[in-house]
Structure 1
Amino acid sequence: MSGPRTTPKLSRPSSAPANWSRAGSGPDKAGAGTILPILADSWTILNSRAFRAADYAWLHLSSRYLAPLALFHYLLAGEKRGYRPTPFFDPDFFRARKPQAPGASAFATFLRAPHGAPACAEFDEDWFVARHPEAKAAASPWAYMTEQGIAKRLDPSPEVSLAFVAGAYRTRNKRLARSLMKIFHRRRGDGKKSCVLNRQDLEANQAAFRAAIKLRALHEGAARRPWLVFVQTNGGHPAALHAPERRYDLMLNYYHEPKEPPREAEYVFVQNGTKTTAIAELIEARPQLFDPYDYVLFLDDDIDLSAAQLADFFETMRNNSLDLAQPALAEGSYGSFLALFQKAGSPGFRRVNYVEIMMPALSRRALAASADCFRSGISGFGVDALIGATVRRLFGATVAVVDRVAARHQRAIDLEGGALYLYLSANGIDPGVEMWTILADHELEQDLRETGASGL
């Protein structure tokens, strides 16, 4: 998203100023015709104080310290590329709706007569004035929105909720304008669908995602053991999970149609969604499958655990009456929270406020109590914190990370280019937006931390 850092070079004869002809007979009309409008536009923009130089430089020049160059970059290159000089002005939108002189800056043209002008798709002047009549006393309603409305979180149109944007994108007031510029820039490309601007659009994207899910059973057996391990997989999960000596039943959910017959498991499903939607769908469509089990562990397919480790883990949960737990992460694993990595000297487990969605295990009663939590999001981000809060509220401090069993998380978490996250983005789901919305809705803490004494 960064623009070029080079500044244009003006070629000139060695013996004459740049705005004079080679013959030395007077001003070069073409040169003056190019430079003078830029100078006039620069003055208009600077005098308005509407151009957000530091935010523009941060977004398009990779550093806010290049703010002194931002206006020149905008006038010479950025405006042609559709970059915004401030959140609620879109040069492409303006040019398409209002003719202007050739070579003139769209932003400068707008600033000379902003009242009623088409600033951007996200600012509806009539709607805004009807709800904020005090804006009539300003130089223009747009100026009032730009100078005061963003800080006050006044909605610029029915399609944009600044309160939602501030919460969903975790933005403080003093950074809200910058965040809006980044969001609007992302919405110009493939990110438009996932960069939602209000709760209704988020919920519509989630509903559409769920509506497209198709759950199909390839094999449904019967419960044979007291514990169940669910694996969200494309077939690449560790073969050790299928060990003949395992003391748990195995449920595989393929998110792509398997190319080969799945390895032996008590249950095999195909569901073209996410791990969270698969769990929610199975709990709703096949609740009887989970009823016989004392504990259910929901694994990602890049978690390396042996059958013996899993038996030790389930026994630790049973012997210590834990309702929600996960194995600790082994050294060298990929993870987001330090509290989940194996801790030297721990006698067996440590109590925490919640565990991560990559491998939560729930008791029968905790799973029943948390069933609705799995329907609160698509990506799983924030769902784990909600499950933890629900279990602690109902059953007390029965949430833990089990240090005596260490699992290796083998794949890096790639929030930009990972296959899962590209898939989510294409379907209008931003994991960060889901997480912050869930945390805000339920007044939950983001940090995963220890909450009490260790135990064995």
Structure 2
Amino acid sequence: MKPLSPQRKNLVLVRAGDGSLHQEWLGFSYGVRDFDVVVSYYSRDAYSRHVVEDGVWAHFCPGGKWEGLYQTLAWIGDALKSYDFVWLPDDDIETSAQSVNTLFELMRRYELSVGQPSLTADSYFTHFIFVNCPGIKVRWSNYIEIMVPCLARDLLLAVLPHFKESMSGFGLDYIWCRLPATGERGAAIIDAVQVRHTRPVGQVLLSKMSERGLSPKEEQAKLDAVFGITEPVTPLVYGLRTITGRNVFGLRRVCWPMVWGHLKLVLRIPPRGRRYGLGRIHQLVRRQLNRKCDLSVLPSERG
């Protein structure tokens, strides 16, 4: 495989197996993409079938997502300095080159250090707060999930050492929202971009970790101890920008635009799904009105 020679200012780095959807993200030619791609294969069979094309590089590295990303970023080496942003999606994400272009564009426009696209309403998801909210362009949050994070280079380098010993990535989702490199209002969900998560959450990961005698919760606890986090962190939104350009800040004040946006979708689906959707909206309201959002910068790592 030819050495990495960056041509763009953005990079997509995906850990890929046999069923990876990354080929759909590439568009019809390198010319339509505002990003390079590195495919980090954890499947040797998939690596052997890699198609060589402009702006796409392949690396074989077995193991989990985050430890594999650590090794692949080491393989990329100094070339990483050429990129402003790096997107780290799972390989079961359905999207397009244009959507990925827009993701990078809005990361730059809103000066974000870590962000993620929202999820389509028919996606598999863990936290309802990450499902697309109609009428909203961007939502500032204390939590960016490990499924589809996009990181500015400086923040990626700051958090990178914690990839090395992590198979699950649990705990990273709120750690990188509060590091010094993140800055004020540096973490957000980008509703202007939607992607579809096509497979149930965590099934393959849990199976592989169990085989190695590992637990996501144990990995999370170790990372929490490093930063002195003692309380569970709830995903919350503390600010948003509507598609009409209105900014709203405050846990309670942002609650109602989100409720209205989600209700527009939920009321159009069949009764069984509608009941579930209304339950998740109710949960969102309870959390936004009753939980606290700690945005303080995390202290230096504890030995």
Q: Provide the residue aligned with 2:50 in structure 1.
A: 262
RMSD: 2.0
- In 2, the alpha carbon distance for the partners of 1:397 and 1:376 equals 28
- TM alignment of 1:181-196, pairs within 5 A: none
Match of 2:275?
none
What is the letter of the counterpart of residue 210 of structure 2?
S
Q: Helix, strand or coil: the match of 1:402?
A: strand
Map of 2:104 onto structure 1: 314
| Unaligned 5+ runs, structure 2 | 246-303
CA distance in 2, matches of 1:308, 1:248: 10
Which residue pairs with 2:209 in the alignment? 424
- The answer to whether structure 1 residue 324 and structure 2 residue 114 are counterparts is yes
User: Do residues 362 (structure 1) and 145 (structure 2) align?
Assistant: no
Task: Say whether residues 1:450 and 2:240 are aligned partners.
Answer: no
* C-alpha distance in structure 1 between counterparts of 2:178 and 2:138, whole Å: 19
Query: 2:38 matched to which residue of 1?
Result: 251
1:282 Cα deviation after fit: 2.9
Query: What corresponds to 2:93 in structure 1?
Result: 303
Instruction: Look up the match of 1:290.
Output: 80
Q: Cα deviation per residue 1:53-112 (whole Å; 9 max; x = unaligned)?
A: xxxxxxxxxxxxxxxxxxxxxxxxxxxxxxxxxxxxxxxxxxxxxxxxxxxxxxxxxxxx
Bigger mean CA deviation after superposition, 266-275 or 397-406: 266-275
Structure 1: distance between partners of 2:173 and 2:150? 11
- TM-score normalized with structure 2 length: 0.71
- For these two proteins, the number of residue pairs brought into alignment is 234
Matches within 5 A, 1:157-172: none
1:46-445 aligned within 5 A = 218-238=1-21, 239-243=23-27, 244=29, 245-259=32-46, 260-263=48-51, 264=53, 265-346=55-136, 348-375=137-164, 377-390=166-179, 394-414=182-202, 418-442=203-227, 443=229, 445=232
Question: Is the CA contact 1:373–1:386 (under 8 Å) kept in the aligned structure 2?
Answer: no
SS of match in other structure, 1:412: coil
Alpha-carbon distance, 1:285 to partner: 4.5
Q: Is the 8 A contact 2:118 2:131 kept in 1?
A: yes
Identity, % of aligned positions: 26
Measured in 1, the distance between the counterparts of 2:34 and 2:199 equals: 27
Is the partner of 2:44 in helix, strand or coil?
coil
Return the alpha-carbon distance in structure 2 between the equivalents of residues 364 and 407 of structure 1. Answer: 22
Contact 2:117–2:195, Cα closer than 8 Å, also in 1: yes
Alignment of 1:32-43 (within 5 A): none
Cα offset, 1:253, TM superposition: 0.6
Deviation for aligned residue 1:230: 0.8
Greater strand share, structure number: 2
Counterpart-to-counterpart distance in 2, 1:274 and 1:219: 24
Contact 1:328 1:340 in 2 (8 A): yes
Give TM-score, length-normalised by structure 1.
Answer: 0.48
Instruction: Please say if residues 232 and 252 of structure 1, whose CA atoms lie closer than 8 Å, have aligned partners that are also in contact.
Output: yes
Q: Give 5+ residue unaligned stretches, structure 1.
A: 1-217
SS at match of 1:375: coil
CA distance in 2, matches of 1:375, 1:349: 31
Which secondary structure does the structure 2 equivalent of 1:389 belong to? Answer: coil
The question of whether the paired residues in 2 share the 8 Å contact of 1:351 and 1:397 is answered with yes
Aligned residues of 1:322 and 1:363 also touching (Cα < 8 A): yes
> How far apart are 1:428 and its partner, in Å?
1.8
Structure 1 CA distance for aligned equivalents of residues 165 and 232 of structure 2: 16
- Report deviation, 1:254: 0.6
With a CA cutoff of 8 Å and minimum separation of 6, indicate the structure with the bigger relative contact order: 2
Are residues 271 and 396 of structure 1, via their aligned partners in 2, closer, same or farther at CA, if it must alter by over 3 Å? Answer: same
Residues 40, 72 of structure 2: 8 Å contact kept: no
CA contact (8 A) 2:83 2:153 kept: yes
Q: Quote how far apart the aligned CAs of 1:242 are.
A: 2.1
SS in 1 for 2:112: coil
* Higher Cα radius of gyration: 1
Separation in structure 1 between the aligned mates of residue 216 and residue 2 of structure 2, nearest angstrom: 31
Kept in 1, the 8 Å contact 2:86–2:153? The answer is yes
Alpha-carbon displacement from aligned partner over 1:307-336 (angstroms, at most 9, x marks no partner): 011111111111111110000011011111
CA deviation string 1:361-394 (max 9, x = no partner): 0112221222223235221111222222225x75
* Distance change (3 Å), C-alpha of 1:373 and 1:387: farther
